[in-house]
């Protein structure tokens, strides 16, 4: 998927929109259940972007623990 995004130019907007819409759906479902909502922009900037960066540059493994730590920064207990 990343090769498609990088190689096709206009596809980056398409995939960004796809990700944004999925996050909107998650946000809407959470608020309908009376759970705390979240800023979609913050999730993109502080969760999605770092994971994509590390996948692209292969400078670290984006394992479950790393991804969970990114999410927990936005949703402290």
Residue 1 confidence (pLDDT): 60
Residues of the chain with pLDDT under 50: none
Q: What angle do CA 61, 66, 70 make, to 5 degrees?
A: 130
Residue 27 confidence (pLDDT): 95
Query: How would you label 41-74 residue by residue, b for 16+ Cβ within 10 Å and e otherwise?
Result: eebeeebbeeebeeeeeeeeeeeeeeeeebeeee
Residue 58 confidence (pLDDT): 84
Residue 6 confidence (pLDDT): 64
For residue 4, give every residue at least 6 positions away whose Cβ sits within 8 Å of its Cβ, in sequence order, or none.
Answer: 11
pLDDT, tens digit, 9 for 90 and up, residues 10-21: 667 778 889 999
Q: How many Cα atoms occupy the beta-carbon half-sphere of 8 within 13 Å? A: 11
**Cα(43)–Cα(49) distance, rounded to whole angstroms?**
8
């Amino acid at each position: 998927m990343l090769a498609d995004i990088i190689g096709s130019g206009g596809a980056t907007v398409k995939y960004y929109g796809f990700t944004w819409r999925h996050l909107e759906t998650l946000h809407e479902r959470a608020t309908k259940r009376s759970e705390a909502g979240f800023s979609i922009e913050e999730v993109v900037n502080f969760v999605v972007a770092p994971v994509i960066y590390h996948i692209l540059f292969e400078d670290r493994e984006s394992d479950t623990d790393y991804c969970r730590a990114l999410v927990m920064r936005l949703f402290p207990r």
